[in-house]
Chain A
Amino acid sequence: MSAGGSDGTADRPADQAAEEEEGPSQAGSAMPSVELPRKRKGEVEERQILNFNLEDDLCRSEEEDQQVKMKCFREPHRQIEKRRRDKMNNLIDELSAMIPACQPMARKLDKLTVLRKAVQHLKALKAGASGAFTDTKHKPSILPQDELRHLLLRAADGFLLVVRCDRAKMLFISESVSKILNFSKLELTGQSLFDFIHPKDIHKVKEQLSSSEMLPQQRLVDASTGVQVQADAHVRPSHLATGARRSFFCRMKHSRVTGKHEDKHSLPGVSKKKETYRYCTLHCIGYMRTWPSSQLDPEADCTDKETSSLNCLVTVCRLHPPVSHQPPKDVNIKATEFVTRCAIDGKFTFVDQQATTVIGYLPQEVLGTSCYEYFHQDDLQHLAGKHRQVLRSKEKVETQCYKFKTKHGSYVMLQSQWFSFTNPWTKEVEFIVSSNKVVSGPGNAKDESEAGSSTLAHEEAKQILEIPGLSTGVGMMIYAGSIGTQIANELGDTYRANSSPSSEASSPFGSVQEKCPLTSRSTSSREEEAGSSSHSQSLADSSKEASGSSEAECRGESSQLDLDVPGLSSFSSDEAAMAVIMSLLDSDVNMGQSGDFEDLHWPF
């Protein structure tokens, strides 16, 4: 570092820092899309950095800096100097921003002045401040111990609790408990812990406090091998000495009423009938510790004095943020709304209990059946289109208003948002989540009659789903259920067509070195795939016999089903839908005859 002059030495570590700084950013740009640590050889804790560029940037020792820089980056020395100066200037600017004396200056102050003002400022702070300079017990630190402790508890949203193991008496609680449980420290100290724990968790907490004899076998899971190792069942009493860790969740009471507990004179234990208690979940982490009993609990009676030491649990109880209690942002549920989950073929696999108030059915009555069985005939086409759309899109799909058949035969007007969930690893759709809301009241008798064939008269060929002569509800159910299956089959074909090369490239984990096959093909889509190939064959066959203008389209479309993947997107058109439905009919009925459906007989 010849150019640096006499202060070159002092600045060298800064240079190194500068180079380290730019290391990651350079590496960031040079780095391939590697996310997963490639670390699975041997110890799990040892993580090697994948990107060797990044590693190189970090590995500089000072002497090598120059050389390697010249070799690898070919940067002139003045660039390094410039960066160093820039960094220093930035720091000086930040410093002047933080010093009140520097604020009102119109022009930018020079380096030396800022530094001098900083010195003055520190002197002033030292005169006024307390802990940092007067705390002689601990080693000097930017933040005095007390403040550090305070900040910690704020950040952790927790309180310290020391509890006797044998009696569960709370020996010490930090002040911060008042923020979390709304009880003052006074009210809790000396009380039994079990008075404040949710009744169902008492057993769990007792276990955590209990001595080694009562302790069930500790099971250690060694994550490097995934093997469960049974610890020795006969654990020595010294196991309870400092070090034995505890980590558990429990629910503790917290009082809803604030402000009443500030009064230091209120005795703990007075019943507060007017207040209701709710429970909040706490994550308790800590360890066991032994203390001389006489100092800790002077109220202990004589028999205790025999045991000279008390086993206590020292734990920090953190309020567990109930993040998932809030409804997830993408699914908002109100009273007249309910949520359902369907497999990709439209069969209900989850129905939330609020559905009953809307559709009349209990969840178990609906589970396992296809959603198409409840859709009104008029809406089938539009909903089938949406079904296809949602399976191929990452976005939420909104349906128009549609009728849903309730238990009592009437229809209720719903509008839904559908969202297909894709497994982040396999990138395949696993299920569809639907949040449904009521748009208007249940349908009246007029709606009911439409379920039959009476609408045939005023429906155009556009309403391709009208099956002339179809009047039995049972028949329609069979037919409707197939729609979902067919749509699911199409998706299976898409996956097959898109499999191996393209899907690995599209995955953000594409760099995954492990050969992780798309294992989730073992879903129902596999069966449908197998089924669909023969299915499409029969489609192609039977479409020959289908009369009418749809014939050509049928054949064309069904060949698209097999071969032309981009053509799948055109399935949302009327003709395509018609073709599919027609071919469905053919295959279901297994007719291979003319397309005259007047006297269609369903096998029921």
Chain B
Amino acid sequence: MTADKEKRRAISREAARRRRRVESDVFGDLSRLLPLQASVRAHLDKPSIIRLTLSFIRMQALLRETESAGCNAEAGHAVRFPRGVEAGEGRLFESETEEIAPLDETKMYLKILEGFLMVLSTTGDMIFLSDNVSKYMGLSQQTELMGHNIFEYTHPCDHEEIRHNLRLTAELGCSQKRDFVMRIKSALTHRGRVGNLKSTTWKVLHCQGRVKLCVASSSVSCLLLTCRPLPLSHTLLSTHTFTSQHGMDMRFTYCDQRVTSLLGYRPEELLGRSIYDLCHTLDTSCLNKNHLNLCLKSQSVSGQYRMLVRSGGYVWVESHSAVIPGVQPSRSRPNPSQPLCILSVTYVLSGVEEPSLQLSLDQTFPRYPR
């Protein structure tokens, strides 16, 4: 009896082994068909192979959809430099091509943008990531990230906002824009080296992009996003920007002298004032969102909003802000027990509009000579 059982077990074990071998072979075939680097291919496990296959198929479907939909007329060919035909212009084109093309234009774009490209499906799968993602997240593009779901890598409190952005609206126009801030895991140490998973931290990413709708099959519709970490230090040139520090309630605690030439306020006048008072009422919600982002995610990019100029009218500005430990300008090392404050760099985008208009109480007070 037992011998029979043993034999049967042996047979079934052998059958299972055979099945597994066949399966492994097919997986091997699949991985060889994928355009991967050899080193990467060697280390793929089965789920990853499937994920990468899915990514490949989806991207191909997406590109085909792009061409056929005619949404982007320049789909396949236009990114190549046209080999100029007319005499005069031709020379210019050719010379450019020789010079710039070898510079690997794509890498240039990614370097300039200081970010990576992410293609997200409507369910949150990261279908595709440009390979410089490892520079920002410290995780390998192909084995660890591609094909996985973004909700595994982002802060739980941002999931709601991400889901909201993934929703497609019914309209078929090409231009549904997305612009939001989220926190993503990063396995980089603060020196920029790849640490292990023990040291993952949150990195704040500013994601901007658009929806790519696929009419034929909605599973191909996706979000195209460029994700850049928000820089914590800025290189400023002198005009048209000013820096300011605020308490967590957005009241000014410090403002640099530039604000006087740009907006007409003296820095002293602003201390203790809330930024909401200084801006156009219709932009309250924009500032509110910015403030909330700062409180929750510690970094934010406001949209464009209007700041009222002291003598009347307003200018359009945009602020890039971050939460940092509060410091006095004279001290160079922050004390960990100091309260948080918000550091803000504000770019002035426009000239003064409607300078004769007095909209707020501040603007009605006459200036006293110094």
B170 lies within 8 A of chain A by Cβ: no
- On whether the beta carbons of B200 and A152 are closer than 8 Å, the reply is no
Q: How far is the CA of A114 from the CA of B112 in the complex (A)?
A: 42
11 pairs, CB–CB < 8 Å, chain A vs chain B:
A12-B45, A20-B197, A118-B53, A125-B57, A148-B117, A190-B92, A318-B208, A323-B304, A350-B280, A352-B281, A421-B276
Q: When the two chains form their complex, are residues B351 and A220 in contact, meaning their CB atoms are under 8 A apart?
A: no
Q: Is the pair A60, B45 in contact by a Cβ cutoff of 8 Å? A: no
Contact status of A216 and B327, CB under 8 A, knowing A60-B197, A186-B89, A225-B334: no
**Given the known A-B contacts A95-B54, A156-B209, are A171 and B96 also in contact in the complex, defined by CB atoms under 8 Å?**
yes
In the A-B complex, the 3 residue pairs with the closest CB atoms = A47-B201, A155-B224, A46-B190
Q: How far is the CA of A116 from the CA of B74 in the complex (A)?
A: 35
A1-40: which residues lie under 8 A (CB-CB) from chain B?
5-7, 10-14, 17, 20-21, 24, 27-28, 31, 35-37, 39-40
A219 to chain B: closest CB distance in Å? 5
Q: A121 near B57 (CB under 8 angstroms)?
A: yes
CB closest chain-A residue, reference B291: A424
Residues 98-117 of chain A, each 1 if its beta carbon lies under 8 Å from chain B, else 0: 11000000000001100110
Measured CB to CB, the nearest residue on chain B to A244 is: B235
Q: B137-178 toward A: CB 8 Å interface, digit per residue (1/0)? A: 000001000101101100011000000000000000000010
Question: How many residues of B are in contact with the other chain, CB < 8 A?
Answer: 160
Contact pick for B281, options A225, A264, A433, CB 8 Å: A433
Answer whether residue B194 sits at the interface, using C-beta atoms and an 8 A cutoff: no
Whether the pair B284, A364 counts as a contact (CB closer than 8 A) is no
Stretch with Cβ within 8 A of B (4 or more), from A137-145, A409-417, A484-492: A137-145
Instruction: State which of A217, A225, A291 has its C-beta within 8 Å of the C-beta of B332.
Output: A225
**Is A401 an interface residue, CB under 8 A from the partner?**
no
A327 pairs with B282, CB closer than 8 A: yes
Which residue of chain B has its CB nearest to the CB of A284?
Answer: B112
Residues of B contacting A348 in the complex (Cβ-Cβ under 8 angstroms): 361
CA distance A432 to B267 in the complex (A): 26
- Cβ < 8 Å to A, chain B residues 293-307: 295-296, 298, 303-305
Tell yes or no: A431 within 8 A of B by CB.
yes
Interface status of B233 (Cβ within 8 A of chain A): yes
Q: Please judge, given known A-B contacts A37-B202, A151-B119, A320-B304, whether A221 and B208 are in contact too, CB under 8 Å.
A: no
Chain A residues whose CB sits within 8 angstroms of the CB of B185 once the complex forms: 58
Interface pick from A438-446, A462-470, A514-522: A514-522
Q: Report whether A424 and B340 are in contact in the complex, using a CB–CB cutoff of 8 Å.
A: no
Residues of B within 8 A of A321 (CB): 177, 179, 208, 303
Instruction: Note all chain A residues with C-beta closer than 8 A to B332.
Output: 225, 227
Q: Which of A6, A49, A175 contacts B74 (CB 8 A)?
A: A175
- Measured between beta carbons, the chain B residues less than 8 angstroms from A88 are 46-47, 50
State A563–B177 Cα separation when bound (angstroms). 52
Confirm or deny: B5 has a beta carbon within 8 angstroms of a beta carbon on chain A: no
Which listed residue, A95, A155, A172, touches B226 by the CB 8 Å rule? A155
How distant is the Cα of A353 from the Cα of B359 in the complex, in angstroms?
Answer: 7
Q: Which residues of chain B are within 8 angstroms of A43 by Cβ–Cβ distance?
A: 190
A316 touches B112 (CB 8 A): yes
- Among residues 1 to 29 in chain B, which have CB atoms less than 8 Å away from a CB atom of chain A? 16-17, 19-20, 22-24, 26-27, 29
Q: Are B304 and A218 in contact (CB under 8 A)?
A: no
Q: Nearest-CB distance from B306 to chain A (Å)?
A: 8
How far is B324's CA from A37's CA once the two chains are assembled, in angstroms?
11
Interface size class of A (residues with CB under 8 A): 35 or more
Contacts of B46 in A (CB 8 A): 10-11, 14, 88
Q: Say whether B333 faces chain A, with CB atoms less than 8 Å apart.
A: yes
Q: Give Cα distance in the complex from A425 to B229, angstroms.
A: 24
Are A17 and B47 closer than 8 Å at their CB atoms? yes
Give every chain B residue within 8 A of A351 (Cβ-Cβ).
Answer: 359-360
Looking at the assembled complex, report how far the CB atom of B268 sits from the nearest CB atom of chain A, in whole angstroms: 16
Quick check: is A76 within 8 A (CB to CB) of the other chain? no
Confirm or deny: A132 has a beta carbon within 8 angstroms of a beta carbon on chain B: yes
Determine if A160 and B109 form an interchain contact, defined as CB atoms under 8 angstroms apart.
Answer: yes
Closest to A318 in B: B208
Q: Is residue A314 within 8 Å, beta carbon to beta carbon, of the partner chain?
A: yes
B55-109: which residues lie under 8 A (CB-CB) from chain A?
55-61, 63, 72, 74-76, 78-80, 86, 89, 91-92, 95-96, 98-100, 104-106, 108-109
Contact between A5 and B237, CB atoms less than 8 A apart: no
* Cβ-defined partner of A24 (8 Å) among B52, B91, B156, B363: B156
Partner of A155, one of B26, B198, B210, B251: B210
- Which residues of B are found within 8 Å of A146, using beta-carbon distances? 76, 79-80, 106
Q: Which A residues are CB-close (under 8 A) to B53?
A: 95, 118, 122
Whether the Cβ atoms of A119 and B282 lie closer than 8 Å is no
Contacts of B95 in A (CB 8 A): 295-296, 298
What residues of chain B lie closer than 8 Å to A141, measured between beta carbons? Answer: 35, 131
Tell whether, in the assembled complex, residue B339 and residue A514 are in contact, meaning their CB atoms are under 8 Å apart: yes
Q: Is the CB of A298 within 8 A of B92?
A: yes
Of A203-211, A269-277, A378-386, A471-479, which stretch is located at the interface?
A203-211
Residues of the B chain whose Cβ atoms lie less than 8 Å from the Cβ of A208: 237
B260 within 8 A of A: no
Whether the pair B61, A98 counts as a contact (CB closer than 8 A) is yes
| A225 & B327 in contact (Cβ 8 Å cutoff) | yes
Partner of B276, one of A153, A203, A246, A431: A431
Q: Mark B289-332, 1 if CB is under 8 A from A, else 0.
A: 00110011010000111000000000010100011111101011
For residue B357, CB closer than 8 A to chain A, the reply is: yes
A314 to B112, Cβ gap below 8 A? yes
CB-based contact B303/A172 at 8 Å:
no
Q: Does A303 contact B (CB under 8 A)?
A: no
User: In the complex, are the beta carbons of A27 and B156 less than 8 A apart?
Assistant: yes
Tell which of B151, B219, B286 touches A328, judged by Cβ atoms closer than 8 Å: B286
| Contact (Cβ within 8 A) A150 B109 | no
Q: Establish whether residues A156 and B113, one from each chain, have CB atoms under 8 Å apart when the complex forms.
A: yes
* Interfacial chain A residues near B205, Cβ < 8 Å: none
A10 surroundings in chain B (CB, below 8 A): 24, 45-46
Q: Does A129 interact with chain B (Cβ within 8 Å)?
A: yes
Asked whether, in the complex, the Cβ of B179 is within 8 Å of the Cβ of A350, the reply is no
Cβ-defined contact, B235 with A247, below 8 A:
yes
Complex CA distance for A353 and B226, rounded to whole angstroms:
39
CA distance in complex: A118, B149 (Å)? 21
B336 and A249 form a contact (CB under 8 A): no
A216 touches B249 (CB 8 A): no
Residues of B within 8 A of A172 (CB): 96, 100
Query: Is B99's CB under 8 angstroms from A285's CB?
Result: no
A341 CB contacts on chain B under 8 angstroms:
281, 284, 360
Nearest-CB distance from A407 to chain B (Å)?
16
Closest Cβ of chain B to A497, distance in Å, is 21
Task: Give chain B nearest CB distance to A204 CB in angstroms.
Answer: 5
- Say yes or no for A232: interface residue by CB 8 A criterion: no
Q: A150-B75, A349-B277 are in contact. Are A49 and B109 (CB under 8 A)?
A: no
Known pairs A95-B50, A208-B237, A291-B99; A324 contacts B156 (CB<8 A) = no
From the candidates A48, A218, A287, name the one contacting B237 in the complex (CB within 8 A): A218
Q: Within the complex, what minimum Cβ distance (angstroms) separates A248 from chain B? A: 7
Which residues of A sit under 8 angstroms from B212, Cβ to Cβ? 154
CA of A43 to CA of B286 in the docked complex: distance in angstroms?
Answer: 30
Q: Are B284's CB and A421's CB within 8 A?
A: yes
Task: Please tell me if A339 contacts chain B, counting CB pairs below 8 Å.
Answer: yes
Separation of A480 and B347 alpha carbons in the complex (Å) = 42
Please, which residue of chain B has its CB at the minimum distance from the CB of A172?
A: B96
> A46–B99 contact, CB under 8 A?
no
CB distance from B51 to the nearest CB of A (A): 7
Q: Contacts A13-B45, A31-B156 given: A154-B130 contact, CB under 8 Å?
A: no
Q: Given A122-B53, A149-B109, A186-B89, output 11 extra A-B contacts at Cβ < 8 Å.
A: A10-B46, A21-B152, A95-B53, A151-B224, A207-B239, A249-B318, A320-B304, A339-B281, A352-B282, A367-B364, A519-B251
